[in-house]
A and B are shown apart, each in its own frame.
Chain A
Amino acid sequence: DTEVTQTPKHLVMGMTNKKSLKCEQHMGHRAMYWYKQKAKKPPELMFVYSYEKLSINESVPSRFSPECPNSSLLNLHLHALQPEDSALYLCASSQASRNGELFFGEGSRLTVL
């Protein structure tokens, strides 16, 4: 299994809603990542988890809250988002942080109304 699975594929939420994006991998990878991608832009790194510990937070606003319940799962909790947060949110994993290729999921397309 070389897949990274993200759910939901599409999410529409209001600015007062609380929702979560989920990511799962069963490759035994110990590093997991959240990226945000706006249209016609490269993916922007948001968070990195290494061995289930948050190792990088790229000054992301607190309305985005990551969680790594175990080595296979990564969540991104969303609360009080703004319309400018609408984007494709990509999850990725790698064998270790700073080492080797990233395996990406298909992304969760988020629209904030």
Chain B
Amino acid sequence: GESVGLHLPTLSVQEGDNSIINCAYSNSASDYFIWYKQESGKGPQFIIDIRSNMDKRQGQRVTVLLNKTVKHLSLQIAATQPGDSAVYFCAETTNDMRFGAGTRLTVKP
């Protein structure tokens, strides 16, 4: 079965609001996680990563939170913009970068 997965297949937010995309994983030995963004017709693009020795990592407008106790990570996007509309995947490298199911984020103007 899949080692990573996402809670919701779709998420719709208003432009300017914050977005939160969740991901659950099952392998407690997972030590490195990456969030990817895939726009229509393109390959996945790296957004942000986090190692298991961290709880939180911040980038530009994005934050990843890792809760190892419940094997959950989330991607927070601040002030969501129309250009953020895409499918977001979490992936973990214990099993050579396998992807979860993905969440489609739609930003309403």
Give A contacts to B, CB under 8 Å. 4, 33, 41-45, 48, 56, 90, 92, 94, 97-99, 101-107
Q: In the complex, which of the residues A41, A45, A56, A105 contacts B43, with contact meaning CB atoms closer than 8 Å?
A: A105
Given A104-B45, A106-B42: A33 touches B97 (CB 8 Å cut-off): yes
Residue of B nearest to A48 (CB): B96
Question: Which residues 31-74 in B have Cβ within 8 Å of A in the complex?
Answer: 32, 34, 36, 41-46, 49
- Closest chain-B Cβ to A41's Cβ sits at a distance in Å of 8
- Beyond A43-B44, A92-B43, A92-B97, list 4 extra A-B contacts (CB 8 Å): A56-B96, A98-B94, A102-B46, A104-B43
Contact B96 A98 (CB under 8 A): yes
CB-CB nearest in chain A for B44: A104
Query: In the complex, which of the residues A43, A44, A90, A99 contacts B93, with contact meaning CB atoms closer than 8 Å?
Result: A99
Main SS class of interface, A: strand
Cβ–Cβ < 8 Å partners of A44 in chain B: 99
Q: Which of B44, B89, B96 contacts A45 (CB 8 A)?
A: B96
Residues of the B chain whose Cβ atoms lie less than 8 Å from the Cβ of A90 = 43-44
CB distance from B73 to the nearest CB of A (A): 16
B98 beta carbon closer than 8 Å to chain A: yes
Closest 5 CB pairs of A and B: A104-B43, A42-B99, A101-B46, A98-B93, A104-B44
Question: Nearest residue in A to B47 (C-beta to C-beta)?
Answer: A101
Q: Which residues of A contact B98 (CB under 8 A)?
A: 45
Given A33-B97, A48-B96, A56-B96, A107:B43 Cβ within 8 A: yes
Q: A106 to B49, Cβ gap below 8 A? A: no
Residues of B within 8 A of A4 (CB): 43
**CB neighbours of B102 from chain A (8 A):** 41-42
Q: Report Cα–Cα, A48/B44, bound state, in Å.
A: 17
B24 within 8 A of A: no
How far, in angstroms, from A4 to B42 measured CA to CA in the complex?
12
A residues in contact with B96, CB < 8 Å:
33, 45, 48, 56, 97-98
